[in-house]
Amino acid sequence: MRKPIIKNLAILAAISVFAIACGGGSSAWTVKYKGKDLKFEKVVGNANFRPDLQQGQIVISNFEPEIKGESVMGIADSQKPGEAFVGIYFKTNNQSDYKNSVKPGDVSDNITSLWISSGDDKQRVSFAEGGKVTGKLEITEVTDTVIKGKLNVTKGDSSVSGPFEAKILKKTP
């Protein structure tokens, strides 16, 4: 009787290790909105770089947002219960090179706007205080099609933390 239990435990442990190695298990992306944990079971990331504004723009949502004109700026605040997104705008770290205006590195001091929009109450929490967002934004990879990074920002009872990946919609002027 002991052998099947030990064998089952060994199989369960192996499956757990495999799931974690393949990206399974719980997501490290966490969003707390006014003290409430928001579920991001589905994580959809979109981004664009705006050389005209010298700005990188990233939206991470738990639903597939409607995007108009290849710009995340047009994504409307969440209106449906359960839908939420995090918007991040930051000054690009190489404003003279439009085609490659966002490069890997710590851009924490360049965050110009960050907010959580929740369809539960159809409101948003802004993290900008006096035009400044306190927290950490690190870009870890930028290709022609994707931007990856890590975010850790807290204000009162709201916070956003974890790794993200966003599809780049438009990179050149």
If you average pLDDT over residues 15-21, what whole number do you get?
33
- pTM for the full predicted model: 0.79
pLDDT for the residue 173: 52
For residues 129 and 151, the answer to whether their CB atoms sit within 8 Å is no
In order of their start, the domains of the chain are 27-170 (2.40.128)
What pLDDT is attached to residue 55?
86
**In this predicted model, what pLDDT tens digit does every residue of 88-106 receive, in sequence order?**
999 876 656 656 678 899 9
